[in-house]
A and B are shown apart, each in its own frame.
Chain A
Amino acid sequence: MSKLSLIIKREYLAKVKNKSFVIMTFLSPILMVSMVALVVYLAMLNGSDKKVVTVLNESNFFTNDFSTIPTASVVQFYNLTLEEAKDSTQRLDYYGLIHIPSGNSMEEVAKQTYFFSKESPSDGFLDDLEDVFQNRLKQKRLESLGVTEQEYGDVNKNFSINTSTFFGKENLKGLNEMNAIVGGGFGYLIMMFIIIYGSFVMRSVIEEKTSRVIEVIISSVKPFQLMMGKIIGTSLAGVTQFVIWIVSASILFTIVFLVFDLDFSAIQNSGNLPQTQAMKMASSGMNNSMQQYADMFLQIPWLTLLSCFLIYFILGYLIYSSIYAAIGAAVDNETDTQQFMLPVISPLMLAIYVGFISVFSNPHGPVAVGFSLFPLTSPIVMLMRLSSGVGEGGVPVWQLVLSIFLLIVTFLAIVWLAAKIYRIGILMYGKKPSYKDLYRWLRY
């Protein structure tokens, strides 16, 4: 077995056998699934909590309109005075009383209607209640204007402009955003992986320094071999963890949601969106474009995206984890790493922010192009852009090639520099190095 593969094997096993790593690997999906399940469960609980309200209707405008309120059930009072109704409601310990006085017109009645309750009423319920009135008022107003509901609906119909590329490919509005979200997901994954496993590499280097095993090792292998073995071993452990997370989390989700019969849509329902006539019309229109969006989702060039993800992921991770390894080699303990961490993290953060702000609105604008070429941000930003494809209507081929070329050049340069710092740093003890020291080490 070659020395490099021996080192990779050791680093991998050391990481995978580590107790806290094992615990994190198996606990995280359980924690995540139980958190989500709890949220869904609580939302369902909340949604099923129906309030009972009483209605004293002295007008002749409303009949059983209130029974449509999803968050409350209704008890009608007849032939009671307002005071009696209030008393009874309190005594029955109901949520509140809707009082609709008598009047000549709907407008007048609505203005004088009150909702009495012990505590200030929940927003969700009030919205529902207001919608009932709003709908009836709208009907009356339309009637008085002599307009039918159908006509009103037609007036209100949304307009959306047809879009197309010059090459006749039909575009959908908002597709940029959807593509960016898909690409952003990949970009975010890369960032998380770099931050988590990059610092694993760093800690492992520091451990070798503090345990003084380093000089024993590098009298047998080249520092560069050790560094690369460490980076590769740790990332394989990281990939293992990621795969376990994804597989076990999806299995757990399925089990939990089947066994406990939780309904994901409870989260949306708990918002209690008022289902008005107009809304229903709008949503039927939306279904149509949803279908189109789903089609477009399938049209995202997954193969290109995934293969580019792999390229950018591997190169980006190698660049950053070599920097992490060099930092680990330069210092004696983890607290001393702080001063070097900011310059490492900031391009990643910048990439995410730039990605979500400017790639969303203009995926092929100058800012997006710039950051997708700059090697320290390109793994994240380019992936966000790539979901719109390569070539026609997507990322120009020359940009993709240039970006990958720059990334490879940077990768070689950074690994070379990091290896130099690493080689010197691992044998330096007791001194907290400054940037000036690091620069000097590069020239040894």
Chain B
Amino acid sequence: MNTILAAKDVSKKFGTYMALNNVTLEIPKNCIYGLLGPNGAGKTTLIRIINQITFPDTGTVFFDGKPLKPEHIATIGYLPEERGLYKSMKVGEQALYLAQLKGLSKTEATERLKYWFDRLDISGWWNKKVQELSKGMAQKIQFVVTVLHQPKLLIFDEPFSGFDPINANIIKDEILQLKEEGASIIFSTHRMESVEELCEYIALIHQSEKILDGKLSDIKKEYKNNIFNVGLEVSEKNEIVKKLGETHKIWLSSYDEVDKQLDFRIQLPSNDTGALLSYLSEKGKVNHFVETIPSANDIFIETVNRKTNS
């Protein structure tokens, strides 16, 4: 079985409001899976269903091939978007408590906490009260508590919010490390650059429905529309531009008089670049010819807009 988690036709209604409508997903093992979508799309509801905080009205969720059961809780680590700690409790006590609730024994939890506190360089905080910590510091503790029981499936909802760039990087490296060690990770965020960096798979949820999912590289291939960036060294540009403009959609970006360099973008009807390349080579020296790949951000905006308009 290659999927750690599968949702089949999952629907959830709150009163008359449809929060999830027949969502089907498969999350492969040992990958980072981006769960994307605008605010209020239903991501949190889906995550809560996976964590058995709420339950679907119809549909089934399978964990490692078996229907989701209460005992699976101990093998899931969840860092919610709305997260916090008991303010008047000491850091160490609190981390121990949360770890024990996940089923670790006290000695085991202490040992692992010591390891993680050393690793993230926060050992000095053990006896501090949470209210003395900054937001970023508290987030670090929460991260540790989420991963402490070595869950098979980790769910991070906006894990980088509240972190400065340096600490965000540390956490990002830790997430990648956890994946290396075999964990499967669901990653819910609005920050598309981190999606680009981390996720192999994505699913896009919009207005309670899944509107797109798959391997990020495949999706990108699907979404590229044969637009190429071209740099051509040529002495006479007007003729070429006119000629190309008759048959293709073309965006002129610049012409350098000194280097005689013409930069433009052109859309081809198909992925077949042979004809164009040979034509261009006749006219001058092709300095670059690069296909533009849509960013996750572009795909996100385009898909959502298309869906909203239809």
- Using a CB–CB distance below 8 Å, which chain A residues touch chain B? 1, 3, 6-7, 10, 14, 18, 207-208, 211-213, 215-222, 427, 429, 440, 443-444
The verdict on A211 contacting B80 (CB below 8 Å), with A220-B102, A440-B15 known, is no
Q: Taking CB as reference atom, which chain A residue is nearest B15?
A: A440
Q: Is B4 an interface residue (CB 8 A)?
A: no
Q: Which residues from A are CB-within-8-Å of B53?
A: 215, 218-219, 427
CB <8 Å contact, B85 and A217: no
5 interchain residue pairs of minimum CB distance: A212-B84, A220-B101, A215-B80, A211-B84, A219-B78
Cβ contact within 8 Å between B84 and A216 = yes
Task: Give me the interface of B with A, judged by CB distance under 8 Å.
Answer: 14-15, 48, 51, 53, 70, 73, 76, 78, 80, 82-89, 97-98, 100-102, 142, 145
Q: Return chain A residues, CB-CB under 8 Å to B89.
A: 14
- Contacts A14-B89, A18-B88, A221-B101 hold; do A216 and B142 have CB atoms under 8 A apart? yes
User: Which residues does chain B contribute within 8 Å of A18, judged by CB atoms?
Assistant: 88
Chain B residues whose CB sits within 8 angstroms of the CB of A443 once the complex forms: 15
In the complex, what residues of B have CB within 8 A of residue A440's CB? 15
A residues near B88, Cβ cutoff 8 Å: 14, 18
Q: What's the nearest-Cβ distance from chain B to residue A140, in Å?
A: 78
A423 to chain B, nearest CB (A): 8
Closest residue of A by beta carbon distance from B106: A1
Q: How far is the CA of A296 from the CA of B284 in the complex (A)?
A: 120
Alpha-carbon distance between A379 and B80 when the two chains are bound, in angstroms = 42
What separation, in Å, do the CA atoms of A211 and B83 have in the docked complex?
Answer: 8
> CA–CA, A6 to B97, complex, Å?
8
A-B contact sample (13 more), CB < 8 A, given A14-B86, A222-B70:
A3-B101, A6-B97, A6-B101, A18-B88, A207-B86, A208-B86, A213-B83, A216-B85, A218-B53, A219-B51, A219-B80, A220-B73, A444-B14
| Other-chain residue from B51, B85, B145 in contact with A211 (beta carbon distance below 8 A) | B85
Query: Do A212 and B78 touch across chains, with their CB atoms under 8 A apart?
Result: no
Cα-based distance from A1 to B102 in the complex (angstroms)? 11
Q: How far is the CA of A3 from the CA of B102 in the complex (A)?
A: 9
Contacts of A444 in B (CB 8 A): 14-15
The complex places the Cα of A226 from the Cα of B243 at a distance, in Å, of 73
Cβ–Cβ contact A216 & B83, under 8 A: yes
Complex alpha-carbon distance, A182 and B135, angstroms:
54
Residue from A14, A207, A219, A222 within 8 A of B76 (CB atoms):
A219
Least distance between B231 CB and chain A CB atoms (Å):
52
Q: Which of B14, B15, B145 contacts A216 (CB 8 A)?
A: B145
B100 and A213 form a contact (CB under 8 A): no
Chain B residues near A211 (CB, 8 Å)?
84-87
Indicate if the CB atoms of A215 and B14 lie closer than 8 Å.
no
Chain B residues positioned under 8 Å from A3 (CB to CB): 101
| Contacting pair B80 A216 (CB below 8 A) | yes
| Known A-B contacts A14-B89, A427-B53; A215 and B98 likewise in contact (beta carbons under 8 Å) | no
Chain A nearest CB from B85 CB (Å) reads 6
**Contact for B83 among A10, A215, A427, CB less than 8 A:** A215
Q: How far is the CA of A1 from the CA of B101 in the complex (A)?
A: 9
**Bound CA span A10–B48, Å:** 25
Nearest chain B CB to A148 CB, angstrom units: 78
Chain A residue with the shortest CB-CB distance to B73? A220
Across the interface, name the chain B residue whose C-beta is closest to A212: B84
Q: Nearest chain A CB to B58's CB is how many angstroms away?
A: 15
Q: Is the CB of B73 within 8 A of A213?
A: no
Could you say which residues of chain A place their CB within 8 Å of the CB of B48?
427
**Nearest Cβ distance between residue B156 and chain A, in whole angstroms?**
12
Asked whether, in the complex, the Cβ of A429 is within 8 Å of the Cβ of B76, the reply is: no
A204 smallest CB distance to B (angstroms) = 10
User: Cβ of A218: which chain B residues have Cβ within 8 Å of it?
Assistant: 53
- Contact indicator A1/B84 (Cβ below 8 Å): no
A220:B98 contact, CB within 8 angstroms: yes
B83 partner residues in chain A, CB cutoff 8 A: 212-213, 215-216
Of the A-B pairs whose beta carbons lie under 8 Å apart in the complex, a sample of 18, sorted by A's number, is: A6-B101, A10-B97, A14-B88, A14-B89, A208-B86, A211-B85, A212-B84, A216-B78, A216-B80, A216-B142, A218-B53, A219-B53, A219-B73, A219-B76, A219-B80, A427-B48, A429-B82, A443-B15
A223 to chain B minimum Cβ distance, whole angstroms, is 8
* Cα A199 to Cα B280 with chains together (Å): 80
Which chain B residues border A221 with CB–CB below 8 Å?
101
B123: min CB distance to chain A, Å:
22
Q: Which residue of A lies closest to B99 (CB)?
A: A220
Which of chain B's residues have a CB closer than 8 A to the CB of A14? 86, 88-89
Q: Smallest Cβ distance from B310 to chain A, in angstroms?
A: 31
CB-defined contacts of A1 to chain B, threshold 8 Å: 100
Q: Which residue of B lies closest to A9 (CB)?
A: B97
A-chain residues with CB within 8 Å of residue B15 when the two chains form the complex: 440, 443-444
Which one of B73, B86, B87, B89 has the highest number of Cβ atoms from chain A below 10 Å of its Cβ?
B86
Closest chain B residue, CB of each to CB of A220: B101
Question: Measured between C-beta atoms, what is the minimum distance from B200 to chain A in Å?
Answer: 25
For B101, list chain A residues within 8 Å (CB). Answer: 3, 6-7, 217, 220-221
Q: How far is the CA of A30 from the CA of B114 in the complex (A)?
A: 44
Q: B residues within 8 A CB of A208? A: 86
Distance, CA A216 to CA B81, complexed state (A): 10
Give min CB distance, B142 to chain A, whole Å.
7
* Residue from the list B82, B87, B145 in contact with A215, Cβ < 8 A: B82
Asked whether, in the complex, the Cβ of B100 is within 8 Å of the Cβ of A216, the reply is no
A213 B84 Cβ-Cβ under 8 A: yes
Which chain B residues border A429 with CB–CB below 8 Å? 82
Residue of A nearest to B57 (CB): A444
Per the bound structure, the CA–CA distance linking A440 and B14 in Å amounts to 9
**Measured between C-beta atoms, what is the minimum distance from B274 to chain A in Å?**
55
CA distance A344 to B80 in the complex (A): 33
Bound: A208/B145 CA distance, A: 17
Contacting A212 at CB < 8 Å: which of B14, B82, B98, B100? B82
Q: Which residue of B lies closest to A443 (CB)?
A: B15
- In the complex, what's the smallest C-beta–C-beta distance from A35 to chain B, in angstroms? 31
CB distance from B134 to the nearest CB of A (A): 15
B45 to chain A minimum Cβ distance, whole angstroms, is 10
Q: Give A216's nearest chain B residue, CB to CB.
A: B83
Taking the closest CB of chain A, its distance from the CB of B49, in whole angstroms, is: 12
Residues of A within 8 A of B102 (CB): 220
Residues of chain B lying within 8 A (CB to CB) of residue A213: 83-86
CB distance from A151 to the nearest CB of B (A): 77
Report how far A207 CA is from B142 CA in the complex, Å. 18
Cα-based distance from A18 to B89 in the complex (angstroms)? 10
Chain B residues with Cβ below 8 Å from A6 are 97, 100-101
